Structure 1
Amino acid sequence: MILHILRVLALALLCAMPVAAQESTAPDYAAWERVASDVQDAVSGAEISDQRLSEMRADIVRWRNQFIGAQSAGSDQIGTLKAQIEALGPAPAEGESEDATIAARRSELNSTLAKLQAPSLAATEAASRADGIIRNIDRLIRERQADKLLRLSPSAANPVNWPAAVSLFRWMGAWIYDETVWRFTRPINWDTLRNNAPLIAGLVLVAAVLLLRGGRWMGRLTEWLLDKTSMRGRELISGVVSFGQVLLPVLGAVLLTLALARTAFFGPIILGFFNLLPWVLFVILMGWWLGGRIFPTRSGMVSALNIAEAGRAEGRFHALMLGLALGLNALLSDWIAPRAQDYLGGSGDVAPEKAAEVAVRADAAISVLSVPLQVFAALILFRMGQLLRRQEGLRRATDDDAAFRYRLLRWLGNALIVISVVAPTLGVIGYVSAANALIWPAVLTLAVVAVLAVLQGFVAEAYELVARHEEHPREGLIPVLAGFVLVLLALPVLALIWGVRVEDLMELWTAFRTGISVGGVRISPGVFLTLAIVFVIGYMATRLLQSALKSSILPKTRIDKGGQNAIVSGTGYVGIFVAALIAISTAGIDLSSLAIVAGALSVGIGFGLQNIVSNFVSGIILLIERPISEGDWIEVGTQQGIVKAISVRSTIIETFDRTDVIVPNADLVSGQVTNWTRGNKTGRLIVPVGVAYGSDTRKIAKTLLEIAESHPLVMMQPEPQCLFVGFGADSLNFEIRAMLSDVNFKMRVLSEMNHQIAERFTAEGVEIPFAQRDIWLRNPETIAPPPRSFGAAQATAGAGDLGTPMPGEGYEKPAHRDAEDSPQLSDNDGAEEGDDR
């Protein structure tokens, strides 16, 4: 099965390559009609083999490629003719006429256009017929595959079928023995051995060293890199070097196979076995190596799948056993099964009357040999599934990325457990093909997941080495994107593993190359690539122009910083828009057919995104009119601060608390905005001051004016003023009104002036009053303690505290009083206010 997968992958890679340019000559439609008719007649019959179906399908695909190439023939001339016809203006409506010269020219152009379009239409029709034939062949092949998959073979649980397997091994052993003995008796083979003896001896010696010591040497080198060196990237290098533990023994097995083939003592049957041994060894060692990467032996070493340390030894054992099971299945499917019918028939030619009996015996033998191997692999898969399911509970991940990874491992474990139960059950019943279609793709899928995890780890280590990141290299953007790309590349491989044919993948690739139609516009990979490349070039040119304007050209002009930012931003928007138009035009995308759809969508978008559009338009207005600029001190509603950035949707204001407030541009355009520093930085400062009644007001005004004039940020033109603004409830109120040269320091100047005012008033004995209040109560007797009983009054007679009872005694419940007897406060005659000065 491994060899089949490798062959399929190689064919898929070849098929994925771009198809060579078709010949300029037109297809032979007569020959195509004969081929199409023959294929349709053959497909309608039931005796055609699968191999013949595949060959006919490949022939039809070649014809279809010719037709696809012919569809674009003369496209340039057709486009020119259509442009000329459009230049003549619209055709006259029914009952109308046009100039005779124009009508003759229109008729001539239409006739030429029809002749040029005829080959393209014929190619389109032929390509459509080829597609229909290909779909019929694919349907027939899929039906046959389904029949084979659901075929009921002799059950391996029935002891009657066991002798067939024994007979198979007996015939194979006898055939190999007779063939080998016969070759050893041939003198020419001994002559070949003597002639090739030096080469054979060298190959055997090198193969023995690689098989016996190669893996151990690479293992020691890996341990030395991890333990004895401290260079950066040692884990990546050691991981790559550790793969030598697989390659060197496999290379030794290949050399040994070459040496055995050079002896001429072994026939094609046993040589086929020897040729498969390197692949079987590679599969087994690959399972062992992947197990070591997913379940590391070193304590503290990061696993490729971030597996917990608990259960790693069990995981390595299961990985090795799965590799062994996969290798044995490769021997069974690629060496034993193809020859079973010939061996059980007694020779290479089976008599027709015995063909059915031999086929049943061969099927029984393969079933008896396959089912134990399926059960063995299913047991290992079941334990592996349980191990993967336990990871989520062992790790207890808190971050979303790790939690998602462990959920995937749990789902994978659940799938493995289900397959490990269903597949051997089907195999024991007799559905051996269905069991094989479940169990071995599951094993290969597990191997693909492990390979992807290891490769993603290598990319992460390489990224850490290049970017010099010390923490969490696997969580970086580049490793994550690399892992995503690896998963996309693995999808065709997984599809092939689970039985998808190469032809099906090729149909998807053809449809992808042809493109999809969206609103009458066909988007193909070539069109998309052209669009992306041209747009990226235009975008880069726009950014380069913006950088030149911002750093070299605009700073040398007298335009302020806000105007420079507006020019740079506007250049960016215009450049991106122009780059998009050029890219669409270069790619040849005609958006006229999407105009109606775009118009309908614009109405819905206009209603749904009206706030965003309003903010966008407001942002453009701000960039053009520039009522505010970066660095301005503005006040919007209850928020004020410094403008940090202006974009097309919103403006960022950094408050004096160092917090960023995002204000929609529509609020700045339609609302009231106070710009404290627009145009100039001057601004007025008002300092309120109150002094006690009885102070010399002239002296106070003179003192305050001296304090204002002495501050360096206070402007003398206009000169500062000190105003006596009124008589307050507690003080005589004055105000210092001064213009500051830099209003950004308003609070500092206010604080400094307050310090100086306090110092001068203290030195000159000026009193700064503070409010006091006297509260007068009406009817204070109403809040006296309630009367007590006569006995209690006697007990407490002479006590200084009339409101405090003696120990052990309490108040009597007071009699009910009317509401008017309760304490009251009144603004007029209950509570009287006064100043205590």
Structure 2
Amino acid sequence: MIHALRLFALLLALTALPLSSAPPALAQDDTQRQAALDYEDWERLASRAEDVLGVGRASDAALGQLRAQLVDWRSQFLAAQDVNAARIQTLRDQIASIGPPPVEGASEPEEISARRDALQKQLNDLQAPAVRAIEAHSRADGLIRELDTIIRERQADALLNLGPSPINPVNWGEGWRVLRQTVLTVGTEVGDNWRNPVVRADARDALPATFLYLVIAVVLLARGRRWMVRLSRFVTARAPSEGGTVYGALVSLGQIVLPLVGVFALAGALQSSGLLGLRGDRLVQLLPVLGAIILIARWLGGRIFAEVGVSQTILALTPERQREGRINTGIIGLILALSTLVAATAEFESYSDAAVAVLSFPPLLAAGLMLSRMGQLLITHAMTDSQPSGELPYRTRVMRLLGRASVVVGLAGPVLAAVGYTEAAEFFVYPSLMTLALMGFLLVLQRFVTDLYGLLIGHAQDSETAGDALVPVLMGLVLALAALPVLALIWGARVADLTEVWSRFTIGFTVGETRISPVDFLTFALIFALGYTFTRLIQGTLRSTVLPKTRIDPGGQTALVSGVGYIGIFLAAIIAVTTAGIDLSSLAIVAGALSVGIGFGLQNIVSNFVSGIILLIERPVSQGDWIEVGGVQGIVQDISVRSTRIQTFDRTDVIVPNADLVSGMVTNWTRQNLTGRVILKVGVAYGTDTRKVEKILREIGENHPLVMINPPPTIVFQGFGADSLDFELRVILRDINYGLGVRTELNHQIAERFALEGIEIPFAQRDIWVRNVEALAPAMTGRPVAPSAPMHPDEIPTDPPEEDGDGSGEADAR
């Protein structure tokens, strides 16, 4: 039966999992490990295990004990496989240095042949213990798997076993009889002890201690939880705003601790009296467990369905539904405690199947009802927590699915129990309740981690911002992964199953002749992290301290820092692989086969990568340069191994593949120096003194502070345009980055100076000739115009119209 008492025991065993599963012989040296293996003792144990498996009648407890012994031997055999590993590798290197034996028909010196044979004999002798350990390890592993198969089959058969029906009136008498007998037996034991003068005298002597325990129990059970609720609300309200919810959550744990102390005091009062018998003492020993179940359930309900004292409610429910959730969780705690009491008593008293079915049905029926009600609350939350677009978040969809499953299981479980499948009903109902409790605890813990992160970074007032940060999300993922073993225990997994998974995880896997274990991965990750950190420190020192004091330009400094980073990361990876002892030679063939396909698929990326290295080495383009590539102009902001980021003058970032910068045409305006030429075109009206225009433009160019005197500004009389006399002012600037501003300022000065000197800057003029003026007269007088026949091309006049007397060239439309 799956119930709360077993879960507590499994959780305690889980905490010791990493320690209990660690191979005890790993810390010994080769000689001690080899001497500790008694293969005769192992042979007797293996033979006994094979006999037990052949008969198949041993109890689950006997199979579990036998399995534990096999696991211990398997760990020793695994450690023994590495005996003389260093010496074996040395001998292999020596044999390899001598070379292979000569082919048939060839000969070699006798000394070399004898030396090879001697080394090979030493190698075979050293490998013999490891080979025997490998064979024994395989045998132990096979026996363990057979035992696990038998235990799992028995568990499946128990779930499908049809027992007595609890709703059959014939079985009610048996249930009432055993319950009445247990109560009477407890009362009889107390009465017999009270009639014993010695026991009564001891009880009288222990009366002060009993009374003290009883007073403490009554006070803490009656007021302890209420005191802690008030204290939690007080701390939440009075503490600083950024830490009130965190401190309040920590103080709320007193709602469990303080009343639980009262439960222990009550158990101590009952035991100190000495009046309890054997059965009464067993029941009193259960009191702390039962009290812990009830108190944890009430605390968890108060945190999940909290209205105050939290930064953000976990479930989107109305206050009435929140209160209903708190009441339901309290009732669930009572039901789990009652089912635990019934299961423990039935196991101790060896109740019949009919009695167990009758006594366990009421708690199971109530548990199914509460499970359905909790499922309805989750469905209500899913309906309320929808987005404006109507789409539900992923977590909300999971809760809705769990809510529907809870409703179905809560209704189907009691039906199965009523039919007679009590084991199956308990397997589905109680683990479902504990799964909801586990998920609720994870949500509460996730909210606490988010609030704590907000307190540390100073964003507790904005819980949504803190919740969207990377650290709380990663912590939530770690908590979810850590809850997986607990979830497996809830749904019937044995501690032995988890230890088996952990053992296989620590053993690792074999690639070729190399065994890779999680320790190797941890070693690799640690060494690589240290190398990466050291590389970043060197880069930071070069960037901020060393390179600024040199004459290397900023682009060269960036290239040097990037190159140090790539070299450092590569060396860190090589050192990490070497230190971890990971032999990648067996992967060379696979890597060679994959490299062909990867080369075709990633040829563009490889091309850009090589181009990035060329850019960093040759530096035709550096950070801060003003370049033009592919019709895009801008300032180079960053050069990586794949692409270059250019910021255009309208403040947009353009990502250019490095291959385009190496193979394409690139204009670098500021590569060698910042000087550059600006050309201004200006036109003046016909009849203007061209020498005067040239003089004015030269003075304007020479007077600008950014225009270089050597070479001086150049004035070019381009020619006679259609509307103006065309000139160009060509100046060389000290910093071409200011070219746009200089162009604007020079244009302003030209306009002002020409206006002052009376020089006209003409604009384009055009003559308009309106043909068939007589056709416009009717339209101007409002009379309809008869359509005219289209003209033949020969009829179109080619002579221009005569100009008016004023010479304006405008047509006379009169």
TM over 0.5: yes
Question: Which residue pairs with 2:398 in the alignment?
Answer: 408
What secondary structure sits across from 2:763 in the alignment? Answer: coil
- Write the letter of the residue equivalent to 2:371: L
Question: Which residue pairs with 2:29 in the alignment?
Answer: none
Alpha-carbon offset, residue 50 of structure 1: 1.2
What secondary structure sits across from 1:550 in the alignment? Answer: helix
What secondary structure sits across from 2:99 in the alignment? Answer: coil
Indicate conservation of the 8 Å contact 1:778/1:830, yes or no: no
1:614 to 600, 607, 621: 607
Question: Is 1:19 matched with 2:23?
Answer: yes
Take 2:7 and 2:232, find their aligned partners in 1: how far apart are those partners?
A: 31
- Write the letter of the residue equivalent to 2:791: E
2:102 to 74, 92, 112: 92
Take 2:282 and 2:808, find their aligned partners in 1: how far apart are those partners?
A: 118
Alpha-carbon offset, residue 456 of structure 1: 1.6
Question: Is 1:198 matched with 2:208?
Answer: yes
Unaligned runs of 5+ in 2: 27-31
* Structure 2 length-normalised TM: 0.93
- Write the letter of the residue equivalent to 2:733: L
Indicate conservation of the 8 Å contact 1:778/1:831, yes or no: no
Take 1:778 and 1:92, find their aligned partners in 2: how far apart are those partners?
A: 110
1:375 to 365, 390, 399: 365
Take 2:445 and 2:438, find their aligned partners in 1: how far apart are those partners?
A: 10
Question: Which residue pairs with 1:808 in the alignment?
Answer: none
Q: For residues 126-141 of structure 1, what are the structure 2 equivalents within 5 Å?
A: 126-141=136-151
2:791 to 813, 816, 820: 820
Alpha-carbon offset, residue 119 of structure 1: 0.5
Take 1:400 and 1:101, find their aligned partners in 2: how far apart are those partners?
A: 86
Question: Is 1:67 matched with 2:38?
Answer: no
Q: For residues 268-417 of structure 1, what are the structure 2 equivalents within 5 Å?
A: 268-298=278-308, 302-305=312-315, 309=319, 311-341=321-351, 362-397=352-387, 403-417=393-407
Question: Which residue pairs with 1:705 in the alignment?
Answer: 698
Q: For residues 584-595 of structure 1, what are the structure 2 equivalents within 5 Å?
A: 584-595=577-588
Take 1:709 and 1:768, find their aligned partners in 2: how far apart are those partners?
A: 22
What secondary structure sits across from 1:311 in the alignment? Answer: helix
Question: Is 1:58 matched with 2:72?
Answer: no
Question: Which residue pairs with 1:803 in the alignment?
Answer: 782
Question: Is 1:574 matched with 2:574?
Answer: no
Question: Which residue pairs with 1:38 in the alignment?
Answer: 48
Question: More displaced, 366-375 or 19-28?
Answer: 19-28
Indicate conservation of the 8 Å contact 1:389/1:414, yes or no: yes
What secondary structure sits across from 1:25 in the alignment? Answer: helix
Question: Which residue pairs with 1:721 in the alignment?
Answer: 714
Indicate conservation of the 8 Å contact 1:782/1:821, yes or no: no
Q: For residues 636-655 of structure 1, what are the structure 2 equivalents within 5 Å?
A: 636-655=629-648
Question: Is 1:449 matched with 2:428?
Answer: no
Question: More displaced, 26-35 or 586-595?
Answer: 26-35
Cα distance change of structure 1 residues 28 and 132 upon mapping to structure 2, 3 Å threshold: same
Take 1:683 and 1:759, find their aligned partners in 2: how far apart are those partners?
A: 25
Cα distance change of structure 1 residues 464 and 366 upon mapping to structure 2, 3 Å threshold: same
Question: Which residue pairs with 1:114 in the alignment?
Answer: 124
- Write the letter of the residue equivalent to 2:587: L
Alpha-carbon offset, residue 172 of structure 1: 1.1
Question: Which residue pairs with 1:175 in the alignment?
Answer: 185
- Write the letter of the residue equivalent to 2:408: V
Take 2:15 and 2:306, find their aligned partners in 1: how far apart are those partners?
A: 33
1:474 to 467, 474, 489: 467
Indicate conservation of the 8 Å contact 2:248/2:309, yes or no: no
Cα distance change of structure 1 residues 824 and 215 upon mapping to structure 2, 3 Å threshold: farther
Take 2:716 and 2:809, find their aligned partners in 1: how far apart are those partners?
A: 27
Cα distance change of structure 1 residues 768 and 34 upon mapping to structure 2, 3 Å threshold: same
What secondary structure sits across from 2:654 in the alignment? Answer: strand
Q: For residues 759-770 of structure 1, what are the structure 2 equivalents within 5 Å?
A: 759-770=752-763
Indicate conservation of the 8 Å contact 2:682/2:726, yes or no: yes
Cα deviation, 1:140-161, whole Å, max 9, x if unaligned, reads: 1111111111111111122111
Indicate conservation of the 8 Å contact 1:156/1:367, yes or no: yes
Cα distance change of structure 1 residues 83 and 93 upon mapping to structure 2, 3 Å threshold: same
Indicate conservation of the 8 Å contact 1:783/1:823, yes or no: no
Take 2:159 and 2:801, find their aligned partners in 1: how far apart are those partners?
A: 103
Indicate conservation of the 8 Å contact 1:296/1:302, yes or no: no
Indicate conservation of the 8 Å contact 1:782/1:822, yes or no: no
What secondary structure sits across from 2:791 in the alignment? Answer: helix
Question: Which residue pairs with 1:349 in the alignment?
Answer: none
Take 2:227 and 2:795, find their aligned partners in 1: how far apart are those partners?
A: 103
Take 1:54 and 1:137, find their aligned partners in 2: how far apart are those partners?
A: 8
Indicate conservation of the 8 Å contact 2:386/2:392, yes or no: no
Take 2:607 and 2:83, find their aligned partners in 1: how far apart are those partners?
A: 49
Question: Is 1:242 matched with 2:221?
Answer: no
Aligned residues: 794
Unaligned runs of 5+ in 1: 342-361, 787-800, 806-810
Q: For residues 597-676 of structure 1, what are the structure 2 equivalents within 5 Å?
A: 597-676=590-669
Take 1:400 and 1:644, find their aligned partners in 2: how far apart are those partners?
A: 42
Take 1:541 and 1:653, find their aligned partners in 2: how far apart are those partners?
A: 30
- Write the letter of the residue equivalent to 2:214: V
Question: Which residue pairs with 1:356 in the alignment?
Answer: none
Alpha-carbon offset, residue 251 of structure 1: 1.1
What secondary structure sits across from 1:726 in the alignment? Answer: strand
What secondary structure sits across from 1:156 in the alignment? Answer: coil
Cα distance change of structure 1 residues 590 and 824 upon mapping to structure 2, 3 Å threshold: farther
Alpha-carbon offset, residue 99 of structure 1: 3.2
Indicate conservation of the 8 Å contact 1:385/1:416, yes or no: yes
2:553 to 560, 575, 595: 560
Take 2:112 and 2:719, find their aligned partners in 1: how far apart are those partners?
A: 94
Indicate conservation of the 8 Å contact 2:316/2:384, yes or no: no
Cα deviation, 1:442-462, whole Å, max 9, x if unaligned, reads: 111111111111122222222
Question: Which residue pairs with 1:7 in the alignment?
Answer: 9
Indicate conservation of the 8 Å contact 2:555/2:622, yes or no: yes
- Write the letter of the residue equivalent to 1:418: V
Indicate conservation of the 8 Å contact 2:24/2:75, yes or no: no
Cα distance change of structure 1 residues 638 and 183 upon mapping to structure 2, 3 Å threshold: same
What secondary structure sits across from 1:31 in the alignment? Answer: helix
- Write the letter of the residue equivalent to 1:19: P
- Write the letter of the residue equivalent to 1:444: M
Cα deviation, 1:576-631, whole Å, max 9, x if unaligned, reads: 10110111111111111100111111111111111111111111111101111111
1:159 to 169, 172, 177: 169
Cα deviation, 1:333-385, whole Å, max 9, x if unaligned, reads: 112343143xxxxxxxxxxxxxxxxxxxx111111122222221111111111
Alpha-carbon offset, residue 775 of structure 1: 2.1
Alpha-carbon offset, residue 331 of structure 1: 0.7
Take 1:180 and 1:309, find their aligned partners in 2: how far apart are those partners?
A: 48
* Structure 1 length-normalised TM: 0.91
Q: For residues 451-600 of structure 1, what are the structure 2 equivalents within 5 Å?
A: 451-470=441-460, 471-472=462-463, 473-518=466-511, 521-600=514-593
Alpha-carbon offset, residue 771 of structure 1: 0.8
Cα distance change of structure 1 residues 521 and 775 upon mapping to structure 2, 3 Å threshold: farther
Cα distance change of structure 1 residues 300 and 220 upon mapping to structure 2, 3 Å threshold: closer
Cα distance change of structure 1 residues 30 and 731 upon mapping to structure 2, 3 Å threshold: same
Take 2:774 and 2:606, find their aligned partners in 1: how far apart are those partners?
A: 73
Question: More displaced, 271-280 or 667-676?
Answer: 271-280
Indicate conservation of the 8 Å contact 1:257/1:275, yes or no: yes
Question: Which residue pairs with 1:347 in the alignment?
Answer: none
Cα deviation, 1:427-447, whole Å, max 9, x if unaligned, reads: 111100000000000111111
